[in-house]
Structure 1
Amino acid sequence: MELRSPGLPLEGVPVLTGESDEYECLPEGSSHVIHMLAGAVAGVLEHTVMYPVDSVKTRMQSLQPDPNAKYKGVGEALRRMIRTEGLQAPLRGINVTVLGAGPAHALYFACYEKMKTVIGGMINHSGNSHVANGVAGSLATLLHDAVMNPAEVVKQRMQMYNSPYRSMLDCIRTVGRTEGVGAFYRSYTTQLIMNVPFQAIHFIMYEFTQERLNPQRQYHPGTHIVSGAIAGAVAAAATTPLDVCKTLLNTQENMALSSVQVSGHLSGMVNAIRTVYQLGGVKGYFKGMQARIIYQMPSTAIA
């Protein structure tokens, strides 16, 4: 899944004032450990609070779902999952998400905070630039996805309807034994190609909206929520086609792949794009978009 906007200051940490310091930044000289801790907490909360909606999104992106897993909407899907599969159904795979999100987001936020300052300083003396924010977010994504991609593979396989895996460890062992270690990184290129524009759009929209709603950068959490929600919705909608391809690469849906006579395992973004079109046409690229937007808006605001 994707990273979000810079976090609010840690409680009890003083905020510097001055034209060159954004109010949400930690004091100058704060260690990377502080940025990493703040990012890890934000990331874990972001992924866990809205996790049931993410489970719905994964199922709705299935290109040839089981008749019992065809849903009319997000609310109806959640109700049916709980009624037919139990309370734990929307939460399957959440443990691997927590284990992956913590370190992935820690690296992400530490890199973002450092690089936006360095690159911003190269562009102008104030250290604040839309270009710097976008580039910093893209660079941080490289680190984040290297850690998060294997967790995403396990998570999405456990989220699918009638998943054969009993637990996180069972999924890891089975995939590693039957498909090899490379299976955990089949979607890495697609994830990067999706997340780089996602992060660039997200951070630019976030900073742009913040400048309109809170130009003085005073402490006002409401502007973070609104700016984050708008940025998340726009970025999510724009990158849904690649997210559908990523889900197909991660889950390797046997029913879908066999219907287009794909032997073995599907690999590569180009093959995924072609297969999605064969199975669902243009509409196939936008499966689960509603759930993706609903998931991203509050997740971004939380982070």
Structure 2
Amino acid sequence: MSANKTIKDLTAGTVGGIAQVLVGQPFDIVKVRMQTAPKGTYSGMLHCAGGILKHEGPLAFYKGTLSPLLGIGLCVSIQFGALEYTKRFFASRNLLAGIGGENGMTLSGNQLFTAGVIAGLANGVVSGPVEHIRIRLQTQSNTNPTYRGPLDAVKKIYSAHGIAGIYKGQAVTLLRESTGYGVYFLTYEKLVQREMAAKGVRRDQISPTNSVLYGAAAGYALWFVIYPIDMIKSRMQTDGFTAATGRKYSSTLDCVRTVWRTEGLNAFTRGLTPTLIRSPFANGATFLGFEMASRLLNS
């Protein structure tokens, strides 16, 4: 029964992940370009987006999409699978302790945050290399690209730099995922709990509109916490692999210090506007996809 439930969670998570990529990818490429471009390259989000459209065409907004479409689908699948498994573990503990309501599933804030952290760490093992490849593809030259696609990028990076090259920027990725998803799922689940308690309804009776709204709120909570970390991750994952290939940063901490010294505080929030515009749509779509798929699979 537990294995069957986990399979359903993984499947529903995949649906949520695919929805997230299709809705959020155009905003994401603008965010990454703004995060990684030299200071002064873009005057704002519209300048960046307009330049992409003018010089690279509309399809450029989905550059590197194959990698996240497959990879982020898998990442979100793992993320929700780990989350729901951990929630059930805490619920079983609650039942033994006689807390958490009839089935123990009314988890505490600490339990929900911990479940989110575990989900983020599990997700980060896959999302690190997936996002690394996506960012390389998003930021490479359109006229003289280094990589022909995600598989070509994986082959070339692995051949030259091994598994460490594939997992470049992994330490900051794990920090981002664990911190961010702890807050992300805590926010969403608390909003769901509040509606269930206030209206006396089951989770599967919450309207799809509210799933979208709660997902949007969770997305804003996540980005409020992690955006500066995400910017450092993007810098690390677009940096050269060696001094000979233009490496600027010797470590994550060196990246933070260098950006602070040379570009100031504003660099840590550059590209935030497209992220805030993207967030409610992408995260609302993620939770809507997961909740609707879960209901269908469990009906």
Q: Given the two structures, how large is their TM-score scaled by the length of structure 2? A: 0.81
Q: Does structure 1 residue 54 correspond to structure 2 residue 28?
A: yes
Question: Quick one: percent identity of the two aligned structures?
Answer: 22
What SS class does the counterpart of residue 88 from structure 1 fall into? Answer: helix
Which one of the candidate residues 173, 176, 179 is aligned to 2:155? 173
Q: Which whole-Å deviations, capped at 9, do the CAs of 1:104-141 have from their partners, x for residues lacking one?
A: 22222111111112124424342222222211111122
- Higher relative contact order (Cα pairs below 8 Å, separated by 6+ residues): 2
Q: Which sits farther off after the overlay, 133-142 or 151-160?
A: 133-142
Q: Does structure 1 residue 194 correspond to structure 2 residue 183?
A: no
Aligned equivalent of 2:266 = 283
Tell me if structure 2 keeps the 8 A contact 1:213–1:223.
Answer: no
Aligned equivalent of 2:7 = 33
Q: Which whole-Å deviations, capped at 9, do the CAs of 1:138-174 have from their partners, x for residues lacking one?
A: 1122221111211111100111152533322332233
Q: Which whole-Å deviations, capped at 9, do the CAs of 1:78-107 have from their partners, x for residues lacking one?
A: 333122112221111100112212222222
> Within 2, Cα distance between the matches of 1:234 and 1:105?
18
Which one of the candidate residues 147, 162, 175 is aligned to 2:126? 147
Higher helix content, 1 or 2: 2
* Structure 1 letter corresponding to 2:166: F
Deviation (angstroms), 1:246: 0.2
* Structure 1 letter corresponding to 2:105: G
Aligned equivalent of 1:128 = 106
Q: Does structure 1 residue 113 correspond to structure 2 residue 84?
A: yes
Tell me if structure 2 keeps the 8 A contact 1:237–1:293.
Answer: no
Aligned equivalent of 1:242 = 229
Is the alpha carbon distance of 1:279 and 1:213 closer, same or farther for their aligned partners in structure 2, counting shifts above 3 Å?
Answer: farther
Tell me if structure 2 keeps the 8 A contact 1:60–1:71.
Answer: no
> Within 2, Cα distance between the matches of 1:55 and 1:229?
20
Which one of the candidate residues 82, 85, 110 is aligned to 2:53? 82
> Within 2, Cα distance between the matches of 1:39 and 1:175?
29
Deviation (angstroms), 1:249: 0.8
* Structure 2 letter corresponding to 1:247: S
- Count how many residue pairs are aligned between Structure 1 and Structure 2: 270
Aligned equivalent of 1:100 = 71
| RMSD over aligned Cα atoms | 2.7
Structure 2: segments with no counterpart, 5+ residues: 287-299
Q: Does structure 1 residue 205 correspond to structure 2 residue 170?
A: no
Which one of the candidate residues 248, 254, 257 is aligned to 1:271? 254
